[in-house]
Structure 1
Amino acid sequence: MRNLTKATAALATAGLFSIAAMSQASAAITLIDNSTAGYYNDGIGGSLNGTSALFPDAGTSDDPNIDPAPEPDLSAAAAALGAWLSTPSSPGGTWGAAPEAIPSTWAVETETAIIYEIDAGATGLSNVVANFGVDNGIFVWLDGVYLGGELHPGGASLGELILNIGNLTAGSHFLQVLREDHGGATGYAVQVTGDEGVSEVPLPAALPIFLSGLAGVGFFGRKKRKSARA
């Protein structure tokens, strides 16, 4: 009887964890990768070069490693960038007129910018993670709020900058990216993923499993006490 009671208790406990797991289950999707189109701006040129340690001057041997990077001062490129952080759907400046394929390389010793639109649907997204690789630096905003950035010598491999964005409310959101280069070569890799947040088994449907397990524990417990008194 003791083993049966333990087994029933284990079943009830497993049911509890199953409910928690199923209520959080969701389908992971790729929101952005290197094939994703976005608004593109290559009109910044070298206007930011030498304005701070985040933008080494052209022709220098400086190859900084800055991680994390503070939010950069982009005022020297204001004319080209326009209102890309405040009104990304109509930024002005030197942005392209429509979303286009984003090149993975660009002119050395210049900066370029990207606006990706993320559709979070009617129910929003959860567990959103942005993963970047770049040669040399990158700075990222979401809906105009700075998330983070870094400068790293050489190469462009995913994992150089990982930003755990978390949840996005329903509707459209804009991921704004500034790419930095200070000579030699350029490169860019991006992957943004998230969960649709749809439970595979609704909590009310799974709840009876847990409750029946608890009832079984109580029944066998009472029966055991009666047997002991007999």
Structure 2
Amino acid sequence: MKSLKTAAFAVGFALAASTTAMAATLIDNSTQGYYNNGIGTSLDGTNPFGGNFMFPLANVSGGDPSLDIPAGNEPDLSSASAALGDWLSNPAAPGGTWSAGPVAIPTSWTINDETAIIYTLDGGAGGLSNVNASFGVDNGLFVWLNGTFLGGHLRPGSAIPGEFSLSLGDLGSGLHYLQILREDHGGASGYTVDVTGDLNQPAPVPLPASGLLLLAAAAGLSALRRRKNAN
């Protein structure tokens, strides 16, 4: 009887610990976020990198570069600090020139200006796994997750879906913030985004009922053994 109870407890514990992973689109172009279109051209001609600037001069006057900026080269955004506020350290209440709440994010914006976005990723109770972000942009963008710089990308030409991808890995439970700074230096602007991942949710198992059933089965087997021994 003791071994059967132990087995019942082990099965019940395994059921309690199990989770299901459900693939989902977490962010796309229909997702709302906090939006900042008050940066203007304050960053133009700053952050030299790769023989050019991370934020080229307006109207392509400083070139139209192709740059891939690794995580170790976070841009200095101090010239836009009045507009950006505390967006990297306090994304829930950044101040600056941000929208009062989540709004629809335009896929194009004023030519030569920079704009910024804060998306919220909700990890729920079980967290998120295999999170991947894919972007298209005209001309460039820079990406942070919870204030940590992940990389940047500049390309001439139109916004091509999937031209810039980042692995965000696994995210724990609760809220996370994807922070994006979009760059333009003339001609046109454009943007696409697709963030996918697995939602980790506890398996829908009625644990009290299953535990009672297992214990009832154990009790039944014990009764059969006693009856057999009595005969």
TM-score range, shorter chain: 0.7 to 0.9
Identity %: 60
After TM superposition, the score normalised by the length of structure 1 is: 0.74
Structure 2 unmatched runs, 5+: 1-17, 48-52, 206-231
Q: Which has the higher strand share?
A: 2
Per-residue CA deviations over 1:163-197 (Å, capped at 9, x if unaligned) read 11110000000000000001000000000011013
Within the alignment, does 1:108 sit opposite 2:111 as a pair? yes
Instruction: Report the CA distance shift for 1:103/1:124 in structure 2 as closer, same or farther (over 3 A).
Output: same
- Aligned mates of 2:20, 2:67 — CA distance in 1: 37
Q: What is the letter of the counterpart of residue 26 of structure 2?
A: L
- Aligned mates of 2:33, 2:200 — CA distance in 1: 25
- Aligned mates of 1:114, 1:61 — CA distance in 2: 25
Following TM superposition, the consecutive aligned residue runs of length 4 or more in structure 1 with deviations greater than 6 angstroms are: 199-202
- Aligned mates of 1:77, 1:165 — CA distance in 2: 26
Instruction: Report the CA distance shift for 1:180/1:84 in structure 2 as closer, same or farther (over 3 A).
Output: same
Deviation at 1:68, TM superposition (A): 3.0
Is the CA contact (8 Å cut-off) linking 2:126 and 2:202 kept in structure 1? no
Counterpart position of 1:87: 90
Q: Give the alignment partner of residue 148 of structure 2, picking from 145, 149, 154.
A: 145
Is the CA contact (8 Å cut-off) linking 1:105 and 1:188 kept in structure 2? yes
Q: Give the alignment partner of residue 43 of structure 1, picking from 38, 44, 68.
A: 38
RMSD value, Cα: 1.9
- Aligned mates of 2:199, 2:19 — CA distance in 1: 11
Counterpart position of 1:184: 187
Deviation at 1:162, TM superposition (A): 0.6
After TM superposition, the score normalised by the length of structure 2 is: 0.74
Deviation at 1:159, TM superposition (A): 1.4
Q: Give the alignment partner of residue 24 of structure 2, picking from 26, 29, 42.
A: 29
Instruction: Report the CA distance shift for 1:130/1:39 in structure 2 as closer, same or farther (over 3 A).
Output: same
Count of residue correspondences: 180
Counterpart position of 1:164: 167
Counterpart position of 1:130: 133
